Amino acid sequence: MTVVGIVAGYADGALSLLRAYVDAVLAAGGTPVVLPAAFGPGDDRLEEALRPVEALLLTGGGDISPERYGARPSTTLDHVDPVRDDMELRTLAWAERAGVRVCGICRGAQLMAVAHGGSLFQDLPAAGFDAHVDVQHDRGYATLRHGLKAEPETLTSAVLGDLDEVNTHHHQAVRSPGEGLTATAWSSDGVIEAIEGPGLLGLQWHPETLCATDPRHLRPFQ
């Protein structure tokens, strides 16, 4: 079985990783290994921790520091963690050098873009896109839905299959994918919902919360 490294951030002094990510990897036949975002800049133990990893899952979480993509903060940011930013960027660089496949979800997709010189919308409602996060009511995590259209004959279209609607829970998104990555799916209002490159797939929606009731959403993890 493929060993899948999953990076876990911190929140309120504890590791923070939605169990649905682990369950999705298990359901897809993988062996999940949790990598805590505790290896700061210059900590060579990260390479040792990555040694058994055969595929990488970059999960959702707090906002990436705008400094990482050459911008100044222009809105209220959520749970910015410089150590996690640094570790995930180094982990992604390692995966690309080693030819290890990477799937990024929500923040993970955004990190892929930032790593490749792309940029993000710091706040979608402020940019005129208000259908991606429930700012008025708490209806539960990733319960909103919107339409989706993928570029034909791409990895994204193969992953989606006959799905044309996904869930959403994010106030940031990829603005430009960066060098070597291509936008391959868009929401109904034009927000980039998927990016891909050689060995890389980034999805803005949350298939991990859907695959327990609809096995079609397991495809990104498979």
Mean pLDDT, contiguous 10-residue spans, the chain (222 residues): 94 90 97 95 93 97 92 84 95 97 97 98 80 52 75 95 84 94 93 96 94 92 95
pLDDT of residue 137: 42
- pTM exceeding the 0.85 threshold for the entire prediction: yes
Helix/strand number for the chain, H first, E second: 5, 12
pLDDT of residue 136: 45
CATH 3.40.50.880 fits 3-218, yes or no: yes
Active site residues: 106, 206, 208
* Beta carbons within 8 Å of 76's beta carbon, 6+ residues apart: 123
Domain boundaries of the chain, sorted by first residue: 3-218
Q: Which two tokens stand for residue 214?
A: 């609809």
For 19-46, what is each residue's pLDDT tens digit? 999 999 999 999 999 999 999 898 999 9
* Beta carbons within 8 Å of 32's beta carbon, 6+ residues apart: 4, 6, 21, 22, 25, 26, 57
Round to whole Å and give the CA distance between 160 and 194: 11
